[in-house]
Amino acid sequence: MASIRPEEPKIGRAHDHKPDDLPISHGQNHGQDEESLPDMKEAEVMDAYGNEEGAEIKYKTMAWWQGALVMIAENISLGILSLPAVLAKVGLVGGLIAIVGLGLFATYSGYVLWQFKMKYPQVTNYGDIGEVLLGRFGKITFGFAYIVYCIFCMASHLLTFTIALNVLTGHATCTIVWGIVGLVIFTILSVPRTLKNVSFLSIISFLSILSAVLITMIALAISPKAAADAMSATYAPTFTAAFNSVSNAVFAYGGHVAWVSFISELRDPKEFPKALILQQSLDIILYVTASVVIYRYGGVGISSPALSSNSPMVKKVAWGIALPTIVIAGVIFAHVTAKYVYLRLFSGTKYLHSRGLVATGTWIGLCAGMWVIAWIIAESIPNFSDLLGIISALFASWFSYGIPGACWFYLKWGNFERSTKNMFLSALNIALIILGFVICGAGLYASGYQMHIDTSGSSWTCADNSK
């Protein structure tokens, strides 16, 4: 039987957007000739960071395991807190199919992004992917969507930060004040310019969210709020409520937007699949375990975020322990967003690797400006599930599923072989594109309707948003 594993892509030229300009016929020696790979000088031009020898700031410094840590911290954060409510809304069977199925699709689409990056080394973000696929129009459109998506994700972390502070302090002050406190903290922690520095914080982030979720599960198991027979394989929610819940599962696998940037800062980008498999395996296992256990003992009335499902004391402990991941994962989104704009401003200039006043001041200004915008969004959409739903529908649908499917067809265009492997992969990538359309269209309708009828939060208010 033919293997279904895609071939490792060949590396193409920097500005040649024909994906199959280097075919190898079946009769050829599989060794590559001199023209099939760029020389060192050309590779440096194709790489957005260029030759970093002697540079003050070096970006390509992460080992694959450090990349995996950053990916884990970025993914396993807020998304896991919304998944028990997915099962409570659509039932055990539908919820688990959504969580596991979306996770497997997300793993494959992440592999496709790596293939695309290896073929086009100049790609460091979704704006660059858009330029390869659609020229200047794609660069502007994808780049704008990339920035907006990341800022919305930053907003979700700021919103969660205010919820945590209200829980921990018993709503000691106005929620808007907590938002400003978060704004200052997040901005300060976004100042480091390389992901290697952030990767060590990722260990703290992962241990933080893992401990908080474990405390929630153990406390609910000791004092359950629902009997075992209260679990149901299926429920019959309204379409909008069901799809808005599934959109939260989409958000839990929405890290793809930053993965191309992560690959760009690996010492050896060829090792990315190891980081991907480690991160996604851990994601799926933890998501399934946490959602099933918390749903089993918390029942249909489970809160979203799930950390608020316990007694007041346990809830405070869980939120306190979760604070590092709320902050660090938000900082990672800010980092990749600021890096995108920074590269657009200074690529090819002396400021790219500089520690000088212009370079440092620009970086800090970008981080502060984006966090201010994120704070405005967080204050305007104060319900956690609603915010995740609209983020997923608008952006995660394409960044995690639809666009990677299109990238695969771009890579293979004009070079399809009639084989079982390519037929299978064609069907798989068509499914990714269809999934992107469905999540976007239905998700926008569902999240918009839920925001319209939701009365659990008010915009720009001092009221406690943790209840």
Tens of pLDDT, residues 135-159: 999 999 999 999 999 999 899 899 9
Tens of pLDDT, residues 375-387: 999 988 877 777 7
- Tell me how far apart the alpha carbons of residues 321 and 312 are, in angstroms, rounded to a whole number: 14
Least confident of 10-19, 40-49, 92-101, 305-314: 10-19
**Residue found by looking up tokens 């090819």 in the block:** 348
- The token pair at 178 is 């907590």
**Residue found by looking up tokens 């809830």 in the block:** 315
- The token pair at 225 is 């709020």
Q: CA angle at residue 82 from 307 to 384, to 5 degrees?
A: 85
Tens of pLDDT, residues 65-74: 988 988 988 8
Superfamily grouping for domain 55-453: Hydantoin permease (1.10.4160.10)
Cβ neighbours of residue 84 closer than 8 Å, sequence gap 6 or more: 290, 291, 294, 295, 298, 302, 304, 306, 309
- Tell me how far apart the alpha carbons of residues 379 and 460 are, in angstroms, rounded to a whole number: 5
- Amino acid in position 274: K
Please, which pLDDT band fits residue 461 given cuts at 50, 70 and 90? Answer: confident
Instruction: Reduce the DSSP state of residue 168 to 3 states and report it.
Output: helix
